[in-house]
Structure 1
Amino acid sequence: MGDVMLFENLATDDFICHGPGGMGDRDTFLDWLRWYPRAFSEQRPSLEDVIDGGDRVVARYTVRSTYRGGYLDLPGRDQEVEETGIIIFRLDDGKVAETWFEGNDLEVAQQLGGRVHAPER
């Protein structure tokens, strides 16, 4: 993860991404792609499942990495974390035109010591 040049060659010019933070364009995704490996380094990704559905490809993955800081204001402690998720890719003429991402962000935050507080009533 984090290979900007690879993304630039594989994605369409009008690429769109959807995720927990909302919808973004090519520049939004490139910003994330530059940030992610700084916050989560030494990445060890593995593909658990891949489903080919014509112009859609679905990938379920696990990434083990070392947290360095910069995520939800949680301090970096060189801590090992495990992230899992599912990404749906829509292809257009052999390039990625759109993605939908669902990950275990809450579990990652909890692994890093983040706490969920119930709203007061």
Structure 2
Amino acid sequence: MRPREIAEAWFDMCREGDERRFAELATDDFLCHGPGGTGDRATFIDWLHWYPTAFADQRPTLEDVIADGDRVVARYVVRSTYRGGYLDLPARGQHVEETGIIIYRLAGGRVAETWFEGNDLEVAQQLGGRVQMQLDDRFG
């Protein structure tokens, strides 16, 4: 598959929570990296089952796909409807827009590793979450 096809297939898999498609797309020693740390196939499959139930009606858009060697980078926007289960924030059918970047490392035409950076703070704020920060005297 071409780089854009890999990214599109990955987003389709995530949107559908398709574990069989994940088995086709990812290597047996797959690793995922993100704000919560590093996980393996089992960690990702747990997330894959949760994500489309918490954020339904997903409409992903790939804004940019860039490839170099064994790496593919995708900058994306996913618009969805929140159904609950994220940071204990109540679901009221809110429309959410998530942006982020995923870097894929390929091996043998399959995804061996991902690095994910998303706008979790903005998603939480769209759902009515509040973030409190304390700054010490050095910052005003």
TM-score (norm: length of structure 2): 0.84
Equivalent residue for 2:9?
none
* Alpha-carbon separation, structure 2, partners of 1:114 and 1:39: 15
- Which of 104, 109, 113 matches 1:98? 113
Deviation at 1:39, TM superposition (A): 0.2
* Alpha-carbon separation, structure 2, partners of 1:78 and 1:5: 29
Q: Per residue, is there more strand in 1 or in 2?
A: 1
TM alignment of 1:37-76, pairs within 5 A: 37-76=52-91
Taking only the aligned residue pairs, the percentage that are identical comes to 75
- Which of 21, 24, 38 matches 2:36? 21
Q: Name the aligned partner's letter for residue 66 of structure 1.
A: T
Give the ranges of 4+ consecutive aligned residues of structure 1 lying more than 3 Å apart after TM superposition.
Answer: none
Q: Number of residue pairs matched? A: 121
Aligned residues: CA RMSD: 1.0
Q: Name the aligned partner's letter for residue 91 of structure 2.
A: G
Q: Name the aligned partner's letter for residue 73 of structure 2.
A: V
Q: Could you tell me which runs of 5 or more consecutive residues in structure 2 were left unpaired when the two chains were aligned.
A: 1-13
Equivalent residue for 1:79?
94
Deviation at 1:95, TM superposition (A): 0.6
Q: Per residue, is there more helix in 1 or in 2?
A: 2
The secondary structure found in structure 2 opposite 1:106 is helix
Larger Rg: 2
Q: Name the aligned partner's letter for residue 120 of structure 2.
A: D
* Alpha-carbon separation, structure 2, partners of 1:6 and 1:47: 19
* Alpha-carbon separation, structure 2, partners of 1:118 and 1:56: 36
Equivalent residue for 2:19?
4
Q: Name the aligned partner's letter for residue 50 of structure 2.
A: W
Deviation at 1:119, TM superposition (A): 3.1
* Alpha-carbon separation, structure 1, partners of 2:20 and 2:121: 30
